[in-house]
Amino acid sequence: MQSKEADRPASPLAKTPTGIPGLDEVLLGGLPAGRPTLICGAAGSGKTLLGMTFLVNGATQFGEPGVLVSFEETSQDLADNVASLGFDVPALIAAKKLTIDHIRIDRSEIEETGEYDLEGLFVRLGYAVDQIGAKRVVLDTLEALFSSLGNEDILRAELRRLFAWLKQRGLTAIITGERGDGTLTRYGLEEYVADCVILLDNRVEDQVTTRRLRIVKYRGSAHGTNEYPFLMDDQGITVVPLSSAGLDHRISHDVISTGVPGLDAMLGPGGIYRGSSVLISGVSGAGKTILGASFAAASCERGERCMFFSFEESVDQLVRTVGSAGIKLRPYIETGLLRVETKRPSSFGFEMHLALMQRELDRYRPSAVVIDPVTSFRGPDSEVHAFLLRMLDMLKTRGITTIFTSLTSSNDRVAQGDFGLSSLMDTWTSLLDIESNGERNRGLYVLKSRGMSHSNQIREYLVTDKGVKLVEAYLGVAGVLTGSARLSKEAEDKVEAQRQRDEIAHRRREIASRRAVAERQIAELHAEIAAQETEAARLAAQDERRETVLEADRAAMGASRGVHTNGEAKPHMPSEKLRDMRARAPRGPRATTQGTR
């Protein structure tokens, strides 16, 4: 029996979800159920708001009523403070899903006599819990509760008693505490008694405020160990679970258009893979934003949602700018297929930008994203690189096809100011600024595209009122010709081609004339040969007749002499018979016969 019990796997720790985006992922499921959790941090770090959100989400999302005991703010103040987040606290109180009990403690009105304990708090809290069947409790804050107590021994004993009482009642509790000097809390004891400790930090660096969260400890459960940025605004709390970023994202074999047919033709499958990341880098004025807007418009044209994060232009300015290139974004914005988010990079720290982006992505759920440009973010290269890497992982894990634009200071690829982002991209397209013959033209080429073949040509492209148009590359002796040099050379080529066509036509006419003369001469020769053959046949027939006549004449002469051919005498042939033989012999021309005779 002991062996079987030892082999039995331990049951996982029960957890209570907070309902706060990102926080449950960091906690690997939520706070420990039926146990107290300490939320500590300096003033203004968000302790009360986190506790209030925990209670409201429990009541509205998970069917768990809650009780908040406040030692600093009244019920009305708390309700007013969270009303901007959409929390209807009075309605939850009326529905008996939430109870707020304000306990006023003023040291000037308290005289410490005898032993101090929390029995009155337990009775009051127990009554509130029983009234609505609460499963969640928030105590805000411990410092206000024990501010009038000077005996530290009694303080420590009552703290342990409070945490034990909450555990005994099976309540999932959040206790807030002020951060101490060199310790997590002012008294330095709460973090040891609590089963879970979360530290909130509101940090100011380079005049930019960044909120961070860290799980200091979590008994009986693994948890994220890093510092995680979180956002507090009019839409609540959002935590960026950076621990979930990694290389386990899925891939797709679907190919979608970049919005520029010429660029699609330069890529083997005819576009980019869905869920891939594309970097478009180039100097100022090269058309990076227009290419990004072309991709956004193509996504919306397919009926897919797209988000455009613009860090340099307002919505109206962006719509006007790309509208000059024939890209109409306003209709897509009005129908909800396109959403444009515009913020200055200096408005928040890197983590806050990540938190904002994550929240918008989770709420809007786009299929495509354009970030224009990533080089707007300033800071140490290592921090910017880490920020962009987290952003990329966040987008890839959601299977979002993303276009990043990057500003460069020159056409030299080595000088790319993308903070190492180019090595992380699936496809990298570079825009060139080509200056020649006193004019400036644009060139485009694909440096890399993972998993597909692509053109290695430098293609000139034009930004027209009908979008981006790629023109065929023209390679001259000095390299690629663009602009007026290309047009001039193409005109010369047309003239030369026409001259060649005329020369070929002239040569063909000469050949045809000579062929006709030759065929005529051949026909004359054939006729002459045929005449000669006819004459030869006539002469042969004439000779044959002559031989026949001669033979007949010999025979006649022999007969007239009465001699056989063998020398013997031959009977005389009557003259009538001789005449018959001569008549039967073939006749030739008369002159020839007489000559023979």
Catalytic residues: 72, 312
Record the tokens describing residue 382, joined without a space.
């290592």
Phi and psi torsions of 147, nearest 5°: -65, -25
Cβ proximity of 288 and 372 under 8 Å: yes
d(CA 494, CA 57): 74
| 467 beta partners | 464
d(CA 63, CA 204): 38
Q: Which DSSP symbol is given to 27? A: T
The terminus-to-terminus CA distance of the chain in angstroms comes to 154
- Radius of gyration in angstroms for the set of CA atoms belonging to the chain, rounded to a whole number: 52
Surface-to-core class of residue 171, CB atoms within 10 Å of its CB (0-12 exposed, 13-18 middle, 19+ buried): buried
146 to 46, 138, 156, 162: CA distances (angstroms): 21, 16, 10, 12
Which sign does the torsion angle of CA 79, 80, 82, 85 carry?
A: positive
3-class state of residue 475 by DSSP: strand
d(CA 517, CA 505): 19
User: Using CA atoms in the order 319, 321, 324, 329, what is the torsion angle rounded to 10 degrees?
Assistant: -20
- 373: preceding bond cis by omega (within 30 degrees): yes
Phi and psi torsions of 373, nearest 5°: -105, 165
Smallest CA-to-CA distance from 318 within 287, 290, 360 is with 290
